[in-house]
Each structure stands twice: as structure tokens, then as C-alpha cells.
Amino acid sequence: MTLPYFENTGDGGRILPIAMAHRGFSREGLENSMAAFRAASGLGYRYLETDVHTTADGVLHLFHDDTLDRVTDGRGKVSELTAAQVAAARISGRERVPLFDELVTALPAVRLNLDVKDWSSVRSLAAAIERHRVHDRVLVTSFSDRRRRAVLELLTRPVAASAGLVSNALFTLLGPVLPAPMFARLMRHVLRDVQALQVPVRQGPVRVATPGFIRRAHALGLVVHVWTINSADEMRRLLDLGVDGIVTDRADLLRDVLLARGEWPAAGGRS
């Protein structure tokens, strides 16, 4: 299925690799803050990767960890705190933890890769997508296939989605060993509700983003996004292999790599 989320073209309709800013862009540790999201958008990024957690009183926030402890001056599990308590915390002592509502309205042109981190966010995320009518602007992902499917089942319109940990593992491990027709039939069932495989270059000793992996994904009409790539040489290598997107903490480096390759969207251009 072709969905608007993946339409990322340059001059003359050329399809461009998707450049995705991981938790926004900040060299100062301000991950998942409005400052980081605005910085990535200011570089020209059309796609932002972020994470969702929900507070005890049902408010959807953009935050990676279960607890506030690592990146803020606050303490405690997000799911056990109220929105008011989370609002009092500051990322690196400076920035508030943003709400989902805040990002989608402040940066209406960007598209969001949303990692659903907890079960309490299933209903709150689905409700927020419906409330803002941003079905074409979001991709829903989770390490849990069940959690991602639970969000999709609550939506009134299709949204882009990527596979979870188990589905990606099956694709990676069975691809090289099963006969191609059998593998294709199995994966069409397993991946029936996703359009993307978002994977690391390797998982432990297993190389994941290989030429064969990319070839098999494309044969099934799936796109491949690789995370989290912070080396310019590795970015170039993966793009040469034919990946469809790269997630990075170094939005500045990836932009430079794509500019040099003529694969960066023109300023003011439309996706």
C-alpha cells in the first residue's frame, strides 16, 4: 500500500531517501524537546523520530524513557505521575517535556515516526491521531508488534506502520534460509499491516541491514529505514546499498551527506 507518509520527492518528482532526526536534533542533550524538534525542522528535516509515554491522568507526552531520571531534573515513572508533575521537570535542566498536541500543531509540515513505549499510550495515541486528523503525517512503531497493532485497530483511517522486534527477527533470520516463494507467503502474512522495516545495522552478532535483507524487503514492497546512524561514512555506505531512510542523532551530518549526493529536498520544496 502506498501511503502519503512515504511520499518524499525532490525536483522533478525524484524519490528521495527519508532523513529522520532521532528525538529531534540537539548537541546539548535536549532530546525529545521542542528546542530539538525546532532545530531539526530548521535544518530542513521533513521527518522527526520521537517516542510517546502517557501520564497517570492520560496525557500523551513525547519522551523516551519510562522514568524522568536520566534526562531531566525530575524523578519517577512517567506513567505514575500527573501531567502537572511532568510539566515541572526540565530536560537537561532547561526544556519542558513536550506534549504530542504541542508538536503536531507547532510544526504542521513535519511527519512523525512515533515509537509507542507503553501500553497506556495505545488509547491516548490513537485518540490524539484522530483528534488532530494527522493520519497521513504519522508512522506508528513499537518493539511490541501487539502494541503497534492495538493502536492501528483503534484508528478510523490507515496510517503508516513499521514492524516490531519479533517480525523483524523472523524476516532477518528466515530470509536467507527459506525458499523465496515460501518466505514471501509467510512474510506477507506476518507483515500484513506494515509498510516499513526499521532496523539496526546489526543486532548482536547478526548483521541485519544486508544487501539481501534490503532486496527481499523491496521485493515485498517494504521500505527499509536503518537506525541510529551517526557516521557520515556509514550513511553513505547504507545509501549506496539502497536503504530508503536513515535515522540519526547527527541531523547536521546526514543533511550534508544528502546535499552532496543531490538527495536533499530543496528549500521550500514540497513532499
Q: DSSP letters of 143-184? A: S-HHHHHHHHHT-SS--EEB--HHHHHHHHHHTTTS-HHHHH
What SS3 state is found at 11? helix
Pairing of strands 202-203, 206-207: antiparallel
Instruction: Give catalytic status of residue 22 as yes or no.
Output: yes
**Options 61, 64, 132, 135, the catalytic residue:** 64
Any bridge partners for residue 162, and if so which? Answer: 196
64 noted as active-site residue: yes
Query: Is the distance from CB of 168 to CB of 199 less than 8 angstroms?
Result: yes
Name 256's Cβ contacts closer than 8 Å, sequence gap at least 6. 232
| Residue 249 three-state SS | coil
Cα–Cα separations (whole angstroms), residue 35 to 27, 50, 107, 137: 11, 13, 12, 20
The CA distance from 102 to 117, in Å, is: 19
Measure the CA angle with vertex 140, ends 136 and 142; round to 5°: 175
Q: From CA 44, how far away is CA 19, in angstroms rounded?
A: 10
Dihedrals φ, ψ of 256, to 5°? -65, -40
Write down the catalytic residue from 22, 53, 61, 225: 22
Name the β-bridge partners of 159.
Answer: none
Residues annotated as part of the active site: 22, 64
